[in-house]
Amino acid sequence: MEQIIFYFLIFCIGTLFGSFFTLAVYRLPLHQDITHKRSYCPNCNHKLGFWDMIPILSYLALRGKCRYCKEKIRIRYLLLEILTGTIFLLFAMSLNFSFETVATLETSKLVYLLVGLLYFAGLIIIAGIDKERFTIQKSVILYETILITGYMIYLYIVEKANIHRYVISLLLLITLMIIDNKYLKKKIECPYVVEILELSIIMAIFSYPIGYIITVFLTLVAIGIKNILTKFRQNNKTSYSKKIPIGFYLTTFNIITIIVINWVACRW
């Protein structure tokens, strides 16, 4: 029973994060504040109250409409809350995490859980923005870089882990970000390739080479299937966008890969 309650709490925490992610996905591309400015309806601009922002329940209670202007709320908000809660739950379950783990203070496992959830947070925001706008948000890339750097420092100082091979990748990432910010953004009209490269380095560091290789493989398979389906639809004289949100596929399959690898590793 305690295990069920623990996992339910993890899911609820995930939905709270998911609610914030819907806000971040909408505001970050518009360069709006995501921490101090209160949530509001994008249609009537009315500030939302507490009862309007309860994850999942508010959407269902309001039947998917704004309380004030009655405009339909996109179902993606509900889906993102449910999806984030599910991801948080599966990640905790993949590590065999429970009340007992917290009580016995398995520091390394607890830190990995927290860092992993924060890492997933950045990936989910990247996926949401890239799916709609075909761009990788640089501020989220910076967030992920700081998170990974802090985790590497922790592993080296506290866990006495050998991180030398990842330091090179981290230095490469930081160098690329500096060059991108100082020079490339002024000369390259479409920085998407550079952004994907930066995201890839981050994934290779956190999910280790094997996890990243699996992520890329699954991404290529998914894109290949999508292209085949797109050509089939175009033969039926239907117009479709040729742009492919590579970041969306990478982040999605990286989350799945990490959860599956952890699940297998903790049970074998």
Give me 26's structure tokens. Answer: 């909408």
Backbone angles phi, psi at 2, to 5 degrees: -60, -40
- Domain contains 170: no
Give the other-Cβ count within 10 Å of 41's Cβ: 16
- Domain contains 55: yes
Please tell me the pTM assigned to this model: 0.88
- Domain contains 241: no
Q: Are 7 and 93 in contact (CB under 8 A)?
A: yes
Backbone angles phi, psi at 160, to 5 degrees: 55, 35
- Domain contains 205: no
- Domain contains 65: yes
- Domain contains 54: yes
Give me 101's structure tokens. Answer: 């783990």
- When divided into structural domains, the chain yields a total of 1
- Domain contains 171: no
> Rounded to 5 degrees, what angle do the CA atoms 161, 166, 169 make?
165
Alpha carbon distance 47, 67 (integer Å):
11
Task: Give me the pLDDT at residue 146, please.
Answer: 95
Q: Mean pLDDT for each 10-residue chunk of the chain (268 residues)?
A: 83 92 86 78 80 84 84 86 94 82 70 94 94 89 94 90 86 87 66 90 92 96 88 62 85 96 84
Helix 2-27 and helix 107-133: axis angle, to 10°?
40
Summarize pLDDT for 127-137 with one digit per residue, the tens: 999 988 888 98
Distances (CA, A) of 107 to 69, 94, 98, 112, 208: 48, 17, 13, 8, 21
- Domain contains 100: yes
Alpha carbon distance 11, 217 (integer Å):
29
Task: Give me the pLDDT at residue 100, please.
Answer: 67
Range of the domain at 33: 1-104
Task: Give me the pLDDT at residue 223, please.
Answer: 92
